[in-house]
Structures are given as C-alpha cells and as structure tokens.
Amino acid sequence: MPGTAAQDSGDGAGQRIHLLDLDVDQLRTWLVEQGQQGFRAKQIWNWIYQRRASTFAEMTDLPKKLREQLEQHFVIFRASEVEAVCSSDGTDKLLVRLFDGGEVECVLLRDGIRRSICVSSQVGCAMGCVFCASGLDGVDRNLTRGEILEQMLRLQSRLDEDERLSHIVMMGMGEPLANLDRVLPALDEARSPEGLGISPRRITISTVGLPPAIDRLSKHGVPYNLAVSLHAPNNELRTQLVPVNKRIGIKAVLDAADRYFEANGRRLTFEYVLLGGLNDSDDCAHQLLGILRRRNVMLNVIPYNPVAGLPYVTPSSKAIADFKDILVSGGVNVMFRQRKGSEIDAACGQLRRNRQSV
C-alpha cells in the first residue's frame, strides 16, 4: 500500500525505522530485545521478500500485538510511487519519490521467461556523461540499502503470483560504484535465500569505471557481472563523452576490469552508447576492436536514446550495422540492446527529467 509510506514520510520519516535498512539478524536482535521470539524475524522476512507483503497487517500468522508493535517502530515501504508507465512491450517504469522528496526511477522488463529489473543507486549522478539524463543536474545523495531494496520489492510486487524476478541490473540512475557501502548490503539481501534469492550470476553492476571501487568489488569475491560503460575507444573522445575519464584514463579502467575478470572469472561486459557522428565511425570501431579483441568480453552496443534538450542523434540503421560488422568480423561478441521501453523513456533518468520539464 504505497499510501502508508507516503504518510509516514510526511509526518517525519525519522520516527519510524525503514525495515529494509536492516538485515534479518538485526531484526532478530530487536525482536529478542522486545521480549519476542527470534524465529519471528525469518517469518517476517518471508512475508516481505517471498510473499510480497508491504504492510504488517497482511502478516496474519503473527500475533496481533506483535504486528502493532512492528507498525509502531518500522515502515516497510518508505517512499511513494509518483508514476507508473507501462509500455506495450512489457516494460514497466516507476518513478519513486523518496521520503525527502528526491526522485529515482526503476524498471521491470519482461522478456520471454526473464523478469529483469533495473535499479537506481543514487539520486542524480555525479559522473556527468554528456548524453545521459540522470547526471544533468549532478548528484543529490546516495540511496540507502533500504531505498535500493524497496525499488526491487515494488517491481517484484508488479509480477503475477507465479512469476519470479530473475535478473537484476544496477543500471538505473547513479553510479553504483560510488555508493558501494549501500549497494553491496542491498545486493547481499537480493541474493540471500531468505531475501530475493537471486544468484549473483544474474546480477549485473554497471559502472562508468572507477578503478579503486572495481578493485574493492574484486576483493569482495561475489561473482556479480561487471559492465563497464566505455563509450569511446581513446582518451580524447572518452573524456569528451565521459568527463570523469580525464582523471582516470582508459588504461586504468581496462586494467581494473581485467583484474576483476581474473578474480571472479565472470566474462566482462563493455557498454558503448552509439552517438551519431561522434563515436560511430569505422575508425572508432577499429580502435575498439583493438581494445576488445584480446579480451573475453561481451560488447553491448546501445543506440543513443534521445534526451530532450541534448544535441545528440541516434545513428542510422546503416551506421549501426556497419559498426557492428567491423567488430563481429574481428571476433568480438556483440550484443545490441533492444530498445525495450524506449517509448516510455526507459533510458536512465529520462522519466524524472521529462516530468520536471512539464
């Protein structure tokens, strides 16, 4: 019931604790401190993560007094849903308003038997990629563990009873590697059997490429898929499109990605947003081939999804096909992201932006 959380945010969200910020052991400790039985923690977790409850009132096998006690101390959904846009290809996009008024987007994509979700990690983004709607106004703040999980649960609740979430991509608004302290605990819950139970092999973290944070992820040792947003095959062009590249450089990004591959054995993905007349030339394709040929990678080429007010253009179908052919004939595994959800502004940050501009 989204309304409950919205009320809570109105009258001082600080009063009640966002339950999704806690792990099951922390809830167990709280229960025992209250004189309750510890096993109730798993029961509550089962209600929230498997049975998709968003209120304590639904948890009918808990004693009424305990439900009231929980209601007084905790809130399950702390944000509210401002808008849900559903596209005919099975893509649902939610605009979620946080307790402090910040807004983030998340998306559910239905594809065959896959039920994938794309989740945000920050309000806005500090990376400043020139073609991306999320970072046009910079970053406001990091999302909490609970706010990241709430997006997942809100999207899960849109599924039919017999459907299950299968994949998670941290590819919404924000730079997940700039918020690892909250992203990793949220993903711990996403993959825990008591949480969403999704294998890390079906979870992808997408990054602009921050080497120290990639190394931290390598040491963390959980085999998540890593996707690196490359977007250009040389430093001059990359710095133009991805300004943080100026102080990092492509080599450092590639070296960190290689170390991740060595540590986890997961095939790397490189993302490349194709911008007409900017990074889609034969020369760019050949340079990119030089970088990727020796690596065990998947290249995900994403034709630019237009953002209102930005001067970039989506390349013609021929330019896209030519770019692809050069890489494929050079032996690179190339995937072209289907433009699922483009009719509902499903690219990063666009729904929020378009609402702000009306």
229 is a site residue for ligand SAH (CB under 6 A):
yes
CB of 224 to ligand SAH, least distance (A): 13
Among 62, 79, 132, 198, binds ligand SAH (CB under 6 A): 132
Q: Identify the sign of the CA torsion 66, 72, 77, 82.
A: positive
347 is a site residue for ligand SAH (CB under 6 A):
yes
Pick the closest to residue 150 from 14, 49, 50 (CA basis).
49
User: Active-site residue 348, yes or no?
Assistant: yes
Question: Which two structure tokens, joined as six digits, stand for 358?
Answer: 């009306």
Only one of the segments 5-13, 46-54, 108-116, 201-209 lies at the binding site for ligand SAH (rule: CB under 6 A); that segment is 201-209
Alpha helices for the chain (secondary structure H):
2-10, 24-33, 40-45, 64-73, 145-156, 180-191, 211-220, 235-241, 245-248, 250-264, 282-292, 317-329, 350-356
Residue 271 exposure: Cα atoms within 13 Å on the Cβ side: 18
In this complex, which beta carbon is closest to ligand SAH, that of residue 174 or of residue 185? 174
The span from the CA of 225 to the CA of 220, in Å, is 13
What angle in degrees, to the nearest 10, is found between the helix axes of 180-191 and 145-156?
A: 40
21 is a site residue for ligand SAH (CB under 6 A):
no
User: Active-site residue 68, yes or no?
Assistant: no
Given the residues 33, 83, 105, 147, the one annotated as active site: 105
CB of 136 to ligand SAH, least distance (A): 10
103 is a site residue for ligand SAH (CB under 6 A):
no
CB of 228 to ligand SAH, least distance (A): 7
In this complex, which beta carbon is closest to ligand SAH, that of residue 114 or of residue 337? 337
245 is a site residue for ligand SAH (CB under 6 A):
no
Q: Identify the sign of the CA torsion 204, 345, 102, 137.
A: positive
Contact positions vs ligand SAH (CB under 6 A) = 127, 129, 131-132, 171, 175, 206-208, 229, 271, 273, 302, 304-305, 307, 347-348
